[in-house]
Chain A
């Protein structure tokens, strides 16, 4: 029995009896034990996983009804609430926090009998692109453990890539699902804003972020999306999606489709290996029958400034509730005056979170609202308009997910603005609320390069079909760890 199978293959093997849930979960837990000292993807592992697996096997044997996930081990980014298990957001401020409820996405997965194998590492409160800003220490890229795995959902990307689980749920605010997907050579989807409930996702930038699935194949990602998507009464920003089957017609291919290559994302500033890989991917798409044309989204150059303005503003407000009074870490409050206590407690935020909150407070300060925040919102609207215009001419857009290859841990950590600029290819999807997906495409010097597709609002089916078609043409080696 190999751990390297996809989630879809797992389901088949459980159904035809060639493996049991207990076997697979036991092997997974052993794998986690072995690999964790090298990659540090997990913050906490579910001690009841094996028991749950045994119970599900029993039900299967007794021909009782078992949910469609059939005990599939799934990891959950540690900023998504899981009842009874800690949700730390990789921060000292939530070091001891155990949520009394499950996020909607978690309860939907549980109701289909998936097993939450553990909570995985992230940049503190999802603010970062390398998972180096975690209070619990960085996660390492399994393709080369001296290198960053991307972020902020680094633990998600690594746990899937390093065969520690079959799928993961991450969150994507500026590229945080797609960046680790690209750097770790797995598939990662950021859905349309409103397609997946955010109830239970600890808010960072609430008008922008979405929970997204990561897995080793596009089919697996589509399978998870079926379960977690759709309107939720606990989240006023979710949309009706008509509950389609995202796994249906996945192999429709790209023949006859028009795909726009975003010119701003393949020019200067793009690593030559990445540029070359992108060109090869485009040729491949053409050979598959797609018409690829250059498309300009010139407002994209303002996307990083607009994004960080809005995201910081929202972060400074969303994180204001962490004052260590109702939940947090050990710090007795008797005798302290209120403002002094909370200011001291909140000094436990890491430097990146602190930086963003200072920025957020700045741009929302009296007198600055029009200049920064409002302007950024107008830029956001402009980006959406340009994308709408583009989608009148093409069905999909394509670009490399990251402009550069994974880099060494510690290399860029002291240069926040440089790190922000790495989001330049992913951010427009978040600002416009459109779906985007990263698929593994090539390796360069042993380091993964991912290709990214964008589609218009609620066009996940189209997106998944293109991703499936391209991914099928690849023949990448297994993870070296």
Chain B
């Protein structure tokens, strides 16, 4: 019986400022030590000033994961010495003397398995160490404090996971959750960090640290289960230890046991008073919480009749679901959903492309309406979309400038069909007996009209012509 527990650190990258000062929460891309102030660098006389939104967002995460939020939350100091820790203590939360962290006793269902959340806590990230060159040569460590003080939410689960797949599903859910809540961008490097602990058949617990990405966590866990099982088969006892994930070799390696029980001398951080979070606050936060992915998916399938697979893509991507909500008017919901998940997807697959997109919800509405009312063909719609994305021009402008109008008057279509019949005489002969070849002829007409021909009318006319021959 495999038991896996997780310890996840999630940076609240979408906040404007750090947890205890007004420096930038997202430090990426800045010059070293350009994002610091007396507070986050721990200058003598500096004091921490708690960020209100950080508390609210962390509370929302707790609520979303089914946790209880205590009426009074408090902070503690975790004391130890390390170059990336400017005050030589981390301000964090600690429940050993009673539940005072932002969330506790939660639960989530993964594949019908209940995963209990032991606690959720708010804390500050330390700075970053940069190691110059080889460890033998270097005489110093370089430190960048830009990250020191960045708000973190730590989520600790009970060892309720039974398979690495469940872990992956949970992490995907969590990533969607924090993105949907607008608190964090999990795609940013270092924004979501996962450590795991794993034991098999009531054996010793092994901690796995230093796993870079979600995909790797599943691999690391698989490797570790296999490693432990092979030891067990040979009756070799599995030592309780900390192991690091070696990214390059894709194996776990025993970490030097500097991880002995450290005495952190936890005690309350009295520079931050206890924060009162009463029922009305919880109600307000719950009410204002963005709809969950699961709820969206249900709504899309039930209310709009959108097919499940389309609904899944739509609901799990905030960018898509936001567009959908703004563009649809129930009648054109299915069409909009389709446009987004089939056609737009190709133009909006990266963050940069999404930022440069000139498309607005109105464009989608207009496009959907035009297709539904047969003003343009679906094919033309694809072409129009490409233009919209690039130029942002209105649909009507694009239809006229690219001459995308529907060709549905019989005489012009008949002329084109005449031409095709002349060019494809062999096919015309085959088409009398073979329906596939009829489609081939339809395709040729579409090509000649640059996709503007009405497909069903074209088919009709071709069939009539063939019968008449």
Chain A residues positioned under 8 Å from B271 (CB to CB): 203, 206, 236-237
Stretch at the interface among B6-14, B229-237, B262-270, B405-413: B262-270
**B46 on the A face (CB < 8 A):** yes
Residue of B38, B44, B47 most packed against chain A (CB within 10 A): B44
Q: What total of A-B pairs shows CB separation below 8 Å?
A: 103
Other-chain contact of A373, B86, B263, B267, B270 (Cβ < 8 Å): B267
Q: Is the CB of B265 within 8 A of A323?
A: no
**A60 on the B face (CB < 8 A):** no
**A234 on the B face (CB < 8 A):** yes
* A236-B81 contact, Cβ under 8 Å, with A99-B45, A200-B45: no
CA distance A364 to B76 in the complex (A): 13
**B344 on the A face (CB < 8 A):** no
**A80 on the B face (CB < 8 A):** yes
Other-chain contact of A233, B41, B49, B79, B86 (Cβ < 8 Å): B49
Shortest distance from the beta carbon of A83 to any chain B beta carbon, whole Å: 11
Chain A residues positioned under 8 Å from B49 (CB to CB): 233-236
Chain B residues positioned under 8 Å from A199 (CB to CB): 45-47
**A459 on the B face (CB < 8 A):** no
* A198-B44 contact, Cβ under 8 Å, with A338-B83, A373-B267: no
**B50 on the A face (CB < 8 A):** yes
* A323-B44 contact, Cβ under 8 Å, with A236-B272, A338-B141: no
* A207-B270 contact, Cβ under 8 Å, with A99-B43, A199-B46, A200-B45: yes
Shortest distance from the beta carbon of B394 to any chain A beta carbon, whole Å: 49
Q: Is the CB of B273 within 8 A of A99?
A: no
Q: Is the CB of A321 within 8 A of B42?
A: yes
CA distance A317 to B263 in the complex (A): 13
What is the total number of residues of chain A having a CB less than 8 Å from a CB of chain B? 47
**A339 on the B face (CB < 8 A):** yes
* A365-B50 contact, Cβ under 8 Å, with A199-B45, A335-B139: no
* A234-B265 contact, Cβ under 8 Å, with A101-B38, A320-B79: no
CA distance A342 to B168 in the complex (A): 42
Q: Is the CB of A317 within 8 A of B38?
A: no
Other-chain contact of B47, A80, A89, A234 (Cβ < 8 Å): A234
**A276 on the B face (CB < 8 A):** no
Q: Is the CB of B45 within 8 A of A325?
A: no
User: Hey, what's the 0/1 contact readout for B129-142 against A, CB within 8 Å counting as 1?
Assistant: 00000000001110
Other-chain contact of A334, B38, B43, B81, B140 (Cβ < 8 Å): B140
Chain A residues positioned under 8 Å from B81 (CB to CB): 320, 323, 338-339, 342
CA distance A235 to B44 in the complex (A): 14
Other-chain contact of A81, B45, B88, B270 (Cβ < 8 Å): B45
Q: Is the CB of A99 within 8 A of B263?
A: no
Chain B residues positioned under 8 Å from A201 (CB to CB): 45
Chain B residues positioned under 8 Å from A94 (CB to CB): 44
Residues of A86-117 whose CB lies within 8 A of B: 87, 89, 94, 97, 99-101, 103
**A326 on the B face (CB < 8 A):** yes
**B48 on the A face (CB < 8 A):** yes
Residues of B102-161 whose CB lies within 8 A of A: 139-141
CA distance A314 to B89 in the complex (A): 12
Chain A residues positioned under 8 Å from B265 (CB to CB): 316-317, 361, 364-366
| Chain B positions near chain A (C-beta within 8 angstroms) | 38, 41-50, 77, 79, 81-83, 86-89, 97, 139-141, 263, 265-267, 270-273
| Chain A positions near chain B (C-beta within 8 angstroms) | 80-81, 87, 89, 94, 97, 99-101, 103, 198-203, 206-207, 233-237, 313-314, 316-317, 320-323, 325-327, 333-335, 338-339, 342, 361, 364-366, 369, 373-374
Given A199-B47, A321-B44, 8 more pairs with CB closer than 8 A: A81-B45, A99-B44, A236-B273, A237-B273, A325-B83, A334-B140, A338-B141, A366-B265
Residue pairs across A and B with Cβ atoms less than 8 A apart, 19 shown, are A80-B45, A99-B43, A198-B45, A200-B45, A203-B44, A206-B270, A235-B47, A236-B49, A316-B265, A317-B77, A317-B79, A317-B265, A321-B44, A321-B88, A323-B88, A325-B83, A334-B139, A338-B82, A364-B79
